[in-house]
Amino acid sequence: MSMSSTSAADYANATAASAYEYSVQTLLHAGLDESVSVPLQLAFILAVTLFVLGFEFLIESVEAIIERHPTYWTLLNKMYRELLVGGLTAFVSKRIDQWDILSAYSQTKLNLSDDMVSQQDRIDQWDILSAYSQTKLNLSDDMVLYFSLSIAIQSALMFMMLRRRNRNVDALSALGARDLVEVMSADPDRAASRLSQSAMKTKILQHFFLTTFGLPDLFSFPKYLRAIQDAEIFSLFDIEIIEWLLLVAVYAFFFWFANLFDIMRFVPEGATDDAIDAGVGLANAKRIQAGRVGILLVFVLVLSVTLLLLYQYIRFRVHQIVVHAGGYRASYLEAIMAIAADEDAAPPPLSNDRAIGQMAELADSLADVEDHSGIWDLLTSAWRYMAGTPHAAKPNVAMPIQDLHLRYFSRKAIHVFAKILLSFNAMYFALVWATFNASIAPVLVSGEATWYPLALVGIMAVLVFNMMFFAPRLVRQLALVNATVRVNPTQLKAVIEHFSDVLDMQTKMADAVAVYCDANLK
């Protein structure tokens, strides 16, 4: 069906068909039907986002007051659990309705039985908004929820991949420097493997870190690294208002770019206003969606390449840090040999009591300084740099590598950039996931555009690959940077206090066992 040879009435009929084939219940189909336009949809997403951010601020304020009262804190957590169950129930109910799995009668029963409905359901029930606005609110509500779920899925996959990697690396890092040298020297091929290189890097940074801060060998540097990794992943959930605006801006740029492409291909110069207002024909809707999927794939591939380049850049910088920590020796193995020689000449290890006292002394000297590594903090730092205003140093913020100058390197900048890229990955996944859920039922019923869900699955596979391959490697390299270039006092203090408690408990258990054995003549 061609736009240049069809009447306005035919367009109206074709529009109804396109609305059926391409459900308007997803942002990627915006503009195919007049009930969902791109600019107003993005405005509704911003409005819902502002509401969510305001509500989160209110919750954090309430938590700050209630956390001092264990009873109310327990009650609040139970309420969170019930609301989570209710929200997921409402989400599943909407998907069942979207996929038309049940009949209208059964769907009414399901909606009635859903006691824990969301605020958006109440707006729909009270008919506060028009059908036009309600469609947009439904899409905005879904996109924010899909984005939150995508971040959770991405974080879970990152934790899973990092846990397996950390377990393998820690098995080698637990060896002493002398034992590690013997293992690597016995098998040169193994020494050249990525796993062995990571273990040697960790050992070099561990020795440098313990020496810099005067910590005993009992301190678990791998545990400190894992705490930094966890903090990096958890920071993905802390989305700033600037980040939300940037995410919506990328959505807007995508549709602007796709719209230029659509207009060049499908809208003739002589099209009448009535024909344009009538909507998009089914044939053109198919071509428009094919173009949008292709453009979205290009956006996703650009993101993947950017993640790869950032990973390689940070990996190169980590190599420079490790070379500096190892005394600029020719190889990691030579640095490990030097560490082994230092360990052989070192005095006997401290007792648990002395080690605990030494770690407690450092922990007491560290202030609970919040890590400011957000977009706004980066912008203010850039403004101070351009204005030539010196930055007031925070008290007790440890900088173990003060004599290493990394040109064109900013820890805060790469942290913010990496967080934005991972948020983009979750955002694209949310968009494609929502589109797949909205399109699978119409495609199965009509038999039209069967390639469409398959193409969406392919794009999701690329995004999942980013989550499982690039994201955990990027976080691991960022953790190495954040553990050495600028130490996070809060994380270091927490690890020291936890490890001191563990050593203290082990000492008490050993004393209790010794007393029991002496008392029972064993």
Separation of CA 2 from chain center: 44
273 in a domain, yes or no?
yes
Return d(Cα 320, Cα 337) in angstroms, integer. 19
Residue 123 reports pLDDT greater than 80:
no
Distances (CA, A) of 426 to 300, 415, 440, 464: 11, 17, 21, 9
Return d(Cα 94, Cα 117) in angstroms, integer. 11
463 in a domain, yes or no?
yes
Please report how the helices 241-266 and 282-325 are oriented relative to each other, as an axis angle in degrees rounded to 10: 140
Cβ neighbours, 10 Å, residue 422: 26
Buried b (16+ CB within 10 A) or exposed e, 257-266: ebeeebeeeb
Return d(Cα 238, Cα 21) in angstroms, integer. 37
Dihedral angle sign, alpha carbons of residues 292, 92, 34, 129: negative
Show the domain range for 378. 157-351+366-488
107 in a domain, yes or no?
no
195 in a domain, yes or no?
yes
69 in a domain, yes or no?
no
Task: Check residue 233 and give its pLDDT.
Answer: 87
Mean pLDDT of the chain: 75
Model confidence pLDDT, tens digit, residues 399-413: 555 556 777 777 788
320 in a domain, yes or no?
yes
**In this structure, are residues 191 and 184 in contact, taking their beta carbons and an 8 Å threshold?**
yes
Cβ neighbours, 10 Å, residue 46: 15
Model confidence pLDDT, tens digit, residues 240-284: 778 888 888 888 888 888 877 766 555 555 656 565 555 556 667
Q: For residue 342, which of 456, 177, 203 has the smallest C-alpha distance?
A: 177
Domain count, the chain: 1
Task: Identify the helix (H) or strand (E) that includes residue 332.
Answer: helix 332-345
Model confidence pLDDT, tens digit, residues 373-389: 677 777 777 777 777 76
- At 10, the pLDDT band (50, 70, 90 cuts) reads very low
